[in-house]
Amino acid sequence: MYSFEEHNDKVFTQLPKGAFLTTKADGKVNSMTIGWGNVSVIWYKKVFMVYVRYSRETYNFIEKANEFTVSFPINVDMKKELAYCGTKSFREVDKIKEMGIELDEPKVINTPVIKKCDLHFECKVIYKQAIEPGLVPDFAKEKYYNGNNDYHICYYGEIVAKYGNL
């Protein structure tokens, strides 16, 4: 187990390159690529915040499971898998099966982690908040929403386990 602060610099470096947000509901496992997130503290709890569009199947999974894992491929090359999981939907294809991604059992929650990755967070949702469209700055609306109104919901996941092989 790592301390909360240990390796956060590596998280901040890897996140814009991609990490795997994995969810499990109704016996099915789904993973999508994320490039946004926050490591923070709220209500004296250590959290990882993820942003998921309502249109994503991952949204439906998290709503059912109320938990997620985040796996960071820091010292391994998983660009191909990240690209695939970032462009395909679970509604159309089982991304994990198609890419041959191996899963590892979680330590605390029910959602698995991506085995090949170097660092994992297991998170239980303790709060969620919708992005308020009226408060989004114009540059972000133009670049990330492009008039489609497909905004994000932010999930605050209490980090209940943090581990890996760094």
pLDDT over threshold 60, residue 65:
yes
Predicted confidence band of residue 87 (pLDDT cuts 50, 70, 90): confident
Mean pLDDT of 104-119: 96
Q: Which amino acid is at 58?
A: T
| Residues 122/108, Cβ–Cβ less than 8 Å | yes
Q: Which residue has the tokens 């994320």?
A: 34
Could you say which DSSP state residue 56 is in?
Answer: S
- Tens digit of pLDDT for each residue in 6-49? 788 888 888 999 999 999 999 999 999 999 999 999 999 999 99
Rg (CA), the chain: 15
pLDDT over threshold 70, residue 64:
yes
Predicted confidence band of residue 2 (pLDDT cuts 50, 70, 90): low
Region of poorest pLDDT, from 1-15, 36-50, 106-120, 125-139: 1-15
| Residues 117/76, Cβ–Cβ less than 8 Å | yes
Residue closest to 64 by CA, chosen among 33, 29, 39, 100: 29
pLDDT over threshold 60, residue 1:
no
Mean pLDDT of 161-165: 92
- Regarding the domain delimited by 8-164, which CATH topology (the fold level of the hierarchy) does it fall under? Pnp Oxidase; Chain A (2.30.110)
pLDDT over threshold 80, residue 163:
yes
* Percent of residues, the chain, with pLDDT higher than 90: 68
